[in-house]
Structure 1
């Protein structure tokens, strides 16, 4: 158990709770964490409704869900994810998935571990917002850290302002909004239908790497943008695909808050890994005295130093929180670090 904590309302359940405290003036500019969660609404084959399946290869997906149902799963795997956590949604009464049914889908995924979440199809604006709130609540109330990826319809993609407004509406450190779709072998994909590929790309990229300028599997984008439109989209936290004359690539790896996906994923890794390690090796096993506290600090530092060696972060500091007394069964740690960014802007001054 973990999550954020409030100094005036301490957690009840045993666990190690992390509170990321950002300095007001600061601006936060291993291995692949590769599990993408995806609910599947239409399927056949051997899969049973209301079950979870872990898929690593397309051939497995075809056997489980049928050839007509596997395209979003295939896109996730082509993006580079290690595996897809698929939930077979029970048959829906009528043609439209209700808000209660979407809420039920989110609830069952809340009991599973994954790194990126994506729907295989277009959502209404209300359901996108509900999913964004779920992502935020999972982080703040459940200590569960993942990125959610969204997109829009072909009609939405025809107007970059529509896509950018979606980024504004979904602004959050843990949300990615794709505003351009793709053309693959003559077939046109909206940003919503291509979002599973981006989810796979994010999950399959090591946390010490950026997806900026990463080539994607596509022949073209469904709408080529002008330079001014690309700039405006980036400023509003949108994820943009561009055709550079040779290939289609991600212009810049951003979440809708405008921060870098690389930095956010480093934070998610720390917020996930430290509580897990503490639960396995330290909670209930160390005395809350000077020796036990020193052992805990050393363990946390060792983990962060490993990330430092892999160019995930730097400037590590781990101490007891000087503003709160660690006593009884409670330990307050103060952890500081700086995420390492990728080189994304090279500015040349040439004197002749």
Structure 2
């Protein structure tokens, strides 16, 4: 989908809908339309280098296991994101070149056994090394055999096949729709009869975690670019060079019209050290961009402390799951405490300095204010650009207009006075819907031809395939500060 920002002196080349948002021309859309989080994870099992939707904690266990030894991050990262109840969570498992499946070769019953059947774990990872196989005669029917698959001592599946043949064994495994653990390949027929074995292990499985570098995360960003998502977080990593690369990537995509946001944080030491406040403020000052949320502290959940880099997954889920008519300010969290309680003056510094902070108000842990890392306003921006809600609203407007233009206007409607009127009418209907839902003010919104390009003496004459519009609307906001005067008589 082409689009992005434009200027009269630097016209885009690709066909598409290009818009400039000025401070007086914000709008919004109906709540809940944006809600997809994408998360890179490291795990000992599961699909690698592909996107998997995860909808529950049970799904995390089934897809990636709960094992977080050896720097695996899937359970923590995905669980924190799910706790915020986003519309959708997409996991993308990373792995280095050492990643390998666990395997085991079974033999036939000849006097000089032949390697007849190879059993492979379905996914690369160390979990496959826990799989155990037992081949034995079926206890009910002597003409049949069973392959029993165990995960350690837990029985996962029994594959029953006729006459003990190698081909039948492979078919029983590969044609079982409920089998999500192993696959089978016939190597040599031998005498065609599979030999009995007891509790033999698959070997050679490697999770491919230890060699993962920043380059693997950067390569994953290229895959993310092909997906339709709204918020990104990393899996607890906090390397400064990687953060820099991710921020540059987000800036590029936003300039190209893909309205995404990323939530990033720091290490546990950065969150709790003597310089925690200055470190968090410096991160925001360095990034200083509306598409990046800088999480300043971590949370404590079920007695476990999570760094701000880990807690960023929950923040990403929260942003994605919050209705566009709402705000993350004062949003309740599942945490029982924070890893560092900022003082009032420090909290004020966080708000001014673009740090997204979790606070303990004496009763519960909640978000202090729904802000991004923007500190210094650029041309055409006002202080609304510092709010997560405002940015999400603008991003959705851009997406909706691009999608509507591509589906219904670009290449389909003649660029005549009548065609332009039809486009303007559709735009007004769009804003009318927003006004009805209370997302924008019910008066004062309008769509019209940009007077700089039309009229008796335009500053620039549009090409025959170009249309320039102005959109005007007053967006609404939520109450964040309430001031009262108490008169005592």
Q: Under a length normalisation based on structure 2, what TM-score does the superposition of the two structures give?
A: 0.68
- Secondary structure of the structure 1 residue equivalent to 2:53: strand
Deviation at 1:22? Answer: 4.0
The residue number in structure 2 matching 1:157 is 271
Structure with higher strand content:
2
Cα distance in structure 2, aligned partners of 1:338 and 1:237: 24
Aligned to 1:59: 58
Which residue does 2:31 correspond to in 1? 31
Q: Quote the residue 1:110 is aligned against.
A: 225
How big is each residue's C-alpha offset from its partner over 1:315-340, in whole Å with a ceiling of 9 and x where there is no partner? Answer: 42311111124451111111222332
Tell me: CA distance 1:278–1:53, structure 2 relative to 1, closer, same or farther (3 Å).
same
Cα 1:162–1:334 shift into 2, 3 Å: same
Of 342-351 and 225-234, more deviation after overlay is shown by 342-351
Within a 5 Å distance, the mapping from 1:12-161 to structure 2 comes to 12-22=13-23, 30-32=30-32, 33-44=34-45, 47-68=46-67, 69-91=74-96, 95=210, 97-140=212-255, 142-158=256-272, 159-161=276-278
* Separation of aligned partners in 1, 2:412 and 2:234: 41
Equivalent residue in structure 2 for 1:302, among 429, 443, 458: 429
Q: Verify: 1:317 aligned to 2:431, yes or no.
A: no
Aligned residues: 346
Structure 1 position 193 matched with structure 2 position 310: yes
CA distance in 1, matches of 2:94, 2:64: 12
1:146 Cα shift? Answer: 1.0
Aligned residue for 2:4, secondary structure, equals coil
SS in structure 2 of the partner of residue 339 of structure 1: coil
- Contact 1:117 1:146 (8 Å CA) reproduced: yes
- Aligned partner of 1:339 in structure 2 is 475
Alignment RMSD, CA only?
1.9
Q: In the alignment, is the contact (CA less than 8 A) between 2:26 and 2:473 conserved in 1? A: no
Cα gap change, 1:318 to 1:326, in 2 (>3 Å): farther
Structure 1 residue aligned with 2:366: 249
CA distance 1:307–1:217, change in 2 (3 Å) = same
Q: TM-score, normalised by structure 1?
A: 0.93
Change in Cα spacing, 1:282 to 1:162, as seen in structure 2 (3 Å) is same
Structure 2 counterpart of 1:285, from 412, 431, 437: 412
Counterpart CA distance in 1 for 2:10 and 2:328 is 39
Contact 1:221-1:242 within 8 A present in 2 as well: yes
Aligned to 2:126: none
Residue segments in structure 2 that go unaligned for 5+ positions in a row: 68-73, 99-208, 376-385, 454-460
Q: Distance in 1 between matches of 2:265 and 2:299?
A: 12
1 or 2, which has the higher helix percentage? 1
Runs (4 or more) in structure 1 with deviation over 6 Å come to none
Which of these two proteins has the greater Rg computed from alpha carbons? 2
SS at match of 1:137: helix
State how far apart, in whole Å, the 1-side matches of 2:321 and 2:260 are.
13
Distance in 2 between the 1:27 and 1:299 partners?
17
Following the alignment from structure 1 to structure 2, what is the Cα–Cα distance between the partners of residues 191 and 96? 24
Question: Per-residue displacement from partner, 1:57-80 (whole Å, max 9, x unpaired)?
Answer: 222222111123322111111111
Query: Deviation at 1:211?
Result: 0.9
Q: Within 5 A, what are the aligned runs for 1:212-251?
A: 212-251=329-368
Q: Name the counterpart of 2:389.
A: 262
Q: Deviations over 1:133-160 (max 9, x none)?
A: 11110011x2101110011111111112
Question: How many angstroms apart in 1 are the aligned matches of 2:415 and 2:234?
Answer: 44
Q: Verify the 8 A CA contact 1:49 1:91 in the aligned structure 2.
A: no
